[in-house]
Homo-oligomer: A and B are copies of this chain.
Amino acid sequence: MAQKFDEYLAEKSSLTKEEFETLKPLLTYRHYEAGEFLLLEGDVCRYHFFVEKGLLRSYTIDESGKEHIIQFAPENWYIGDRGSYYFDEPSTLNIQAIEDSDVVMFDQGFLEQAMCTSPAFTNFNERLLQNHIRQLQNRINLLLSASAEKRYLSFVETYYDLTMRIPQWMIASYLGITPESLSRVRKELAKREQKLS
């Protein structure tokens, strides 16, 4: 364990192995089986999660009981509920392992310590936030402007490797359509694909 996170930080934030060693006591490593929950709706999110191995998802449940997937997190991604964490409010999100996963948990203490240790880490952290915002805005734009088919194509383009690992009904949920609709979209695309050849 703990192989990936330090490599990731070294690469992305220029945090050296030595610096990482001093921070390591602030980290918690944990394994989750597929289906296990890292956070339940109503609880306050106390940690950020970094995925070393596996695949996680966060989702909400609406009044009619339907799930809506907010985010997927494969290897080298973060997940959590910043809103709940930062403003100390009960979360509206559930976070669950889709595959058996190895996860690094850390809190604000770790981040502050890391930012003290390395100014480069501060920049890196800022960059992560900015990038997150950019992604969310992109997704909003897609939801506002694109049809089911376009959304799916955009998803495949952006997360091609994930499309194999994520069950189709979850992709549908992420795109804001029903599994049936996604199935039909894919059928239609396959048909057109065929005609081209």
Contact = CB atoms under 8 A, between A and B. Distances in A.
Contact of A145 (B62, B134, B146): B62
Contacts of A127: 86
Contacts of A62: 145-146
A139 interface: yes
A141 B66 contact: no
A27 to B, nearest CB: 21
Interface residues of A, number: 28
A140 interface: yes
A68 B145 contact: yes
Interface in A35-85: 60, 62, 66, 68, 70, 82-83
B141 A68 contact: yes
Copies of this chain assembled into the complex: 2
Interface of A is mostly: helix
Contacts of A137: 70, 83, 136
A144 B146 CA distance: 13
Interface string A3-34: 00000000000000000000000000000000
Contact of A143 (B66, B83, B87, B140): B140
Given A132-B133, A133-B129, A133-B136, A144 B83 contact: no
Interface of A: 60, 62, 66, 68, 70, 82-83, 86-87, 92, 127, 129-134, 136-137, 139-141, 143-146, 173, 176
Considering the complex of A and B, which 7 residue pairs feature the smallest CB-CB distances, nearest first? A83-B134, A136-B136, A68-B144, A143-B143, A86-B130, A144-B176, A62-B145
